[in-house]
Amino acid sequence: MNFDKKSYNFKVGADSCTTDGKYVKGSKNMFDIAGGKNNDWVLYAAYPDASMMRNKLAIDTYEAMTGLWTSHSRYVELYVDGEYKGVYLFMEKPEEASERIAINPTKGYAFKYDKTDVFDRAEDRHTSDPKKTDGTTFITDRTGQHNLTTYNSVVDQAFEVEYLPNGNEIGGDGSATATTDLAALKAHFIAFEDSLAAGNFTKVRQYIDYDSWADWFILNEFRKNAIKGVIS
């Protein structure tokens, strides 16, 4: 948030939303880059990368190498109210959708490991135990940190769950199902990390898709992306 050039997530609506001043839900295939219509998109600033090529190269290479879906993109020049904001990478947002990430509807999850914003921290911090979280985020014994100071802000770095089986979202109503799912995910991660730390690679393979894990590592090495170790 302290970068001079900001990235943006945004939604598009039906064409009518531009004529009567009211948002009308709709979907589009923006710039004809996608496999289908959707309303969630990203304008990626790539501010730390002067070439603006590193992430696009990795994403495009992954699709060419594996034949699996990756976020399709193109370069655009952004103007906001007539003010030039520079060159951006216009991208599909990675999310559960038939034309994006087709997650098993009965037993699939989508989550990310990232710095959580102030609203997530306020909603998800456990009131009685600051090492626990309610709602959408969790940390494990080895991965994650509370009260991380970065760019003049204090955030948590945690796993954040964005999709549950049958299209549910964690945290909305605090349901028992959501709580159970979150606990199961955390236990799965802890078991994986314990196995990896112990060097029990036979057991490690029971917790991950080994081929996609290897692809991820190869691509990070190929594009010289710095990988910070989180297993100790």
d(CA 64, CA 170): 34
Side chain identity at residue 222, one-letter code: F
Instruction: Give per-residue pLDDT as tens, 39-84.
Output: 889 999 989 888 898 889 989 998 998 888 899 999 999 999 999 9
The structure tokens listed for 131 are: 């090492």
According to DSSP, residue 33 is labeled -
Report CA torsion sign: 134, 135, 139, 144: negative
SS3 136: coil
Where in the chain does DSSP place strands (E)?
A: 8-11, 40-44, 73-80, 83-92, 110-116, 137-138, 145-150, 153-163
Q: Supply the mean pLDDT for the chain.
A: 79
The reported pLDDT for the residue numbered 65 is: 87
Largest Cα separation within the chain, whole Å, is 61
d(CA 154, CA 160): 17
